[in-house]
Amino acid sequence: MNHYQKLTERFQQLHHYSHLLSIAGWDQAAMMPPKSNEARANAMAELGGLCHRLATADEVSDWLAAAEQEALDSDQQASLREIKRQIENAHALPEDLVLAKSKAGAKCEHAWRTQRKENDWAGFAENLKEVVKLSREEAQLRSEKTGLSPYDALMDLYEPGMRSAEVDRLFGDLRTWLPDLIQNVQEQQKSRDLPKPQGPFSIEQQKQLGQYAMELLGFDFDAGRLDVSSHPFCGGVPEDVRLTTRYNTDSFAESMMGVIHETGHARYEQNLPRNWLGQPVGEARSMGIHESQSLFFEMQVGRSRSFLKHLSPKISETFGAQDAFSPENLYQLYTQVEPGFIRVDADEVTYPAHVMLRYEIEKALVEGEIEVDDIPDLWQQKMQSYLGIDTAGNFKDGCMQDIHWTDGSFGYFPSYTLGAMYAAQWFHCIQQQISDVETQIEAGDLSQISQWLNDNIWQKASFLTTPELVQAASGEALNPQYFREHLENRYLHQVR
């Protein structure tokens, strides 16, 4: 056995432990009784510490140095590149910090579930301060290892190779046209008088509709399941993908579109190359690419006129016939632009504003330019500036609405808007290559779309860097113009 093979065996072992961590995390969010949290947090921290020791053991560094001198084919070289990246990331942190972060994150997230409902910013802030303190320590250590700024060093965990200077450029361009687009679309839509779906909509019926949409989109229920959590997510591992949603009996759209979004994540995971499972190169390329899959399914496909024509009869069958369920009315409803408090419920025109707000706050927080106590006022200022919304005193619908900061996932938020840009670019390519794609979507036939995604995104996993993947899939680098054209065509020009 050569040294490269020893490395792959170690990472296969780590994959098995990560499998258990992922399922324990899903259970913690979806099923676990409240009084079990401390014991679960300690168990997950212990297992996380074991994984850290296995990844940073002296023999692993020796194997890596030796493997770099071995004759490897191109796939193995890509695999070694990703193994090295993960080893270096692990070496940047001492085990005690890994354990402390895990426990602080579990405590903060668990308390958030109750504190958010109670609008308890003061209680939440105390836990968040510990998470931020540890995240800053992590950022500084990673910065020293990589030479990146503290925030970039964290963002690199989610978007390898992406830097805040590039995000600033992309978001700076967005700011030059997005506010006017939001205003123009709202002006154009203000004369609409659309019939609204009349509830209540039972949770069981919503679940049936969500499962139908998942089946239509190709989710493999023999390798995953749908449950409920406070914050929708896609977790688990490729062999066992766990989706969650949340239900509102006054509106089925939140759950339905949330399920479609998470199914995009799930399809990516379920179709990663099986012969590389357990190896870093067989994992998703980046969170931006991951978000491109969820937003492709939810926005490019799920809110399209063609898809809603197909889904309309099923909605009527599930909840009973209503004028609001006509295909065109559903399309008008689900392309309604209205600034709101909640990011996960936002329309795709205002969504980037939510992301930019969080990016600006979390970057300043990690870099030590602001403190946790500054967040509510900054949130209020930026929501007023970007969306004209007052969040003063409304913490549960403001700075406490998301789960990402509770476990120190700083550097993640840019992935959402990067994902929207990638998704628009993928759909542009598909439209060029599949002439009747809209007809296929209306017929409920997503086989050719899935094949394109499988060939160009899913099966590529992490064999290519993100820029290489984008170039290979679309023939050019990331081009945000496709995102702008998509929004203008759908919301201003109403292209059919």
Q: Are 363 and 351 in contact (CB under 8 A)?
A: no
Q: Which residues have a catalytic role annotated? A: 262
CB atoms under 10 Å from CB of 442, counted, come to: 18
Judged by phi (left if over 0) then psi (alpha if -120 to 50, else beta), residue 388 lies in: left
Order of strands, sheet of 224-228, starting from the edge strand that comes earlier in the sequence = 224-228, 240-245, 234-237
d(CA 45, CA 47): 5
Q: What are phi and psi of 128, to 5 degrees?
A: -65, -35
Q: Please give the full DSSP string across 80-136, using - where no structure is assigned.
A: HHHHHHHHHHHHTS-HHHHHHHHHHHHHHHHHHHHHHHTT-HHHHHHHHHHHHHHHH
CB atoms under 10 Å from CB of 365, counted, come to: 22
d(CA 451, CA 459): 10
- Say which amino acid occupies 102: S
Q: Are 271 and 398 in contact (CB under 8 A)?
A: no
Question: Which token pair is 147?
Answer: 């030479």
Residue 251 DSSP symbol: B
Q: What are phi and psi of 476, to 5 degrees?
A: -160, 170
Which residues on adjacent β-strands are paired with residue 228?
245
Q: Are 77 and 11 in contact (CB under 8 A)?
A: no
d(CA 261, CA 188): 27
